[in-house]
Structure 1
């Protein structure tokens, strides 16, 4: 049986698209899409426990460059060396229209129970060239987070970004206050095109070869990325024996998330 929240969003989606509401407990792909859309539309600045919004709303995604890698979920040696794995965070008020890649993975909210909890190390309003930063977050000039470097409000951030841009600017701590601020400053970029691009969230590397313990919720594709998403679905099934749904993301439409049985290489048991 559907929960009340899933039933509500199913009905809203059905009304908007003028299609039947056909989600059931036996249809995990469609249930996932409804959860993703619900979190995407939830723009609360913090969770009920006062922690950063990434723990309870929005959607955490990671573009995967080599989808033919049978262990695509593992941090790379470079990720381990720099102590960071790069993700993006999408939410209705983030405003981006583009993703870092056309296929990848989606994580469940970090505040939900998981056999392998994940830890956010730092956040950026824009792609920040974290592969060249000190431990993925700081720079030689700004080894400390933004608020300890004098960047504490919109005017000081605008001046800072104008001088250092995204690749050399300071980083934000992943507290509720500064995580939300990293979203709010996106409305104040010097060039509107910046807001259409993705932000960056750095998460600490996790142990290798534990796909069934990670909080993986789905795989995604956009544009021409379906076959690459199918490669990852095959790899995940081979490693775990479990179905993980492929969903389409289109940030220029409403709703943003779509699930089609024909997109799946395999079907849920």
Structure 2
């Protein structure tokens, strides 16, 4: 969605221009060729934890206008990952390189969930786009699913039809669905209830949505709450545009995180990032996901968790 000029001048960080209709694109920083000499953390770990807490509690509908969805400035945009030999967790997977989309989740006080994908216990957190540090990529968010969208099998970039229901699982706006109430009516019509995640449609939040974008994303949050406690255990899903391989110093990674017993994985990622960026340090944050729908997530920094 094209940012209006006033917002652009006010925030100095707004997105400029439209992206391609389906694949999206990654906006390139002016210092694309810069590599990291040893660098300290832009924010201290305690500041990062405080910032994440504030964004989690910020339940605004938009970021100041109808064309600026709330994810641009509030909530926590996170991706759960699994470290492995020869694989850096910030690189898009082979599937994401082919599809053009990378799966994340969105955690906020009004968009809670109890578990990460496949029981994973660590990952990374991106800065929201309107708080992207200088010289970092601004990566477009392409669509939002109220629950896991089973996006691995969907049409590129992970926002389109699922092979179980090719015509009923397209983007919501393509199906004429623009409200949470319409989404719920569609959801209840699934032929096989167990396949509901494949039947659901994704809310279109691309830049090209313009003044419809903020409401489109907010409807996905409203759906999340309409689904009730029975879906609290499962994460939601955002699809972000795939970024280039092996550019860790250009990614807007605010923190590595872990839940439960995932500290070793988070330390692996912190060390790997440090080694690949010439000494950049990103803090490790412990997230405690809510155990009940009435509880809240917490974000904690401990110096004892850090390798650097």
**TM range, smaller chain:** 0.7 to 0.9
Cα pair distance change 1:215/1:30, threshold 3 Å: same
Deviates more, 1:221-230 or 1:162-171: 162-171
RMSD of the TM alignment (CA)?
2.0
In structure 1, distance between residues paired with 2:84 and 2:284 = 13
Cα pair distance change 1:92/1:254, threshold 3 Å: closer
The 4+ residue runs of structure 1 with deviation greater than 6 A are none
Q: Offset of 1:76 from its aligned partner?
A: 1.3
The question of whether the paired residues in 2 share the 8 Å contact of 1:68 and 1:232 is answered with no
| Pairing 1:261–2:303 present | yes
Cα pair distance change 1:141/1:251, threshold 3 Å: same
In structure 2, distance between residues paired with 1:105 and 1:258 = 14
| Pairing 1:155–2:181 present | yes
In structure 2, distance between residues paired with 1:65 and 1:230 = 12
Q: What is the correspondence of 1:23-62 to structure 2 with a 5 Å cutoff?
A: 28-50=44-66, 51-62=68-79
Cα pair distance change 1:59/1:68, threshold 3 Å: farther
The question of whether the paired residues in 2 share the 8 Å contact of 1:125 and 1:186 is answered with yes
> TM-score w.r.t. structure 1 length?
0.84
The question of whether the paired residues in 1 share the 8 Å contact of 2:187 and 2:200 is answered with yes
- Residue among 283, 291, 308 paired with 1:245: 283
In structure 2, distance between residues paired with 1:162 and 1:262 = 48
Counterpart residue number, 1:229: 266
- Pick 1 or 2: higher relative contact order, CA cutoff 8 A, min separation 6: 2
| Pairing 1:205–2:242 present | yes
Counterpart residue number, 1:137: 159
- Aligned residue-pair number: 241
In structure 2, distance between residues paired with 1:145 and 1:26 = 38
In structure 1, distance between residues paired with 2:42 and 2:236 = 34
Counterpart residue number, 2:23: none
For residues 36-90 of structure 1, the C-alpha deviation after alignment (integer angstroms, 9 at most, x for no partner) is: 1011100001002440111000010000123544522111121011111000000
Deviates more, 1:115-124 or 1:134-143: 134-143
- Residue among 107, 110, 113 paired with 1:96: 113
For residues 128-187 of structure 1, the C-alpha deviation after alignment (integer angstroms, 9 at most, x for no partner) is: 111100011111214742133132334322221123312222110112111110011112
Residue aligned with 1:161, SS: helix
In structure 2, distance between residues paired with 1:27 and 1:176 = 28
In structure 2, distance between residues paired with 1:70 and 1:171 = 30
In structure 2, distance between residues paired with 1:177 and 1:254 = 24
The question of whether the paired residues in 2 share the 8 Å contact of 1:43 and 1:57 is answered with yes
Q: Offset of 1:243 from its aligned partner?
A: 0.9
> TM-score w.r.t. structure 2 length?
0.73
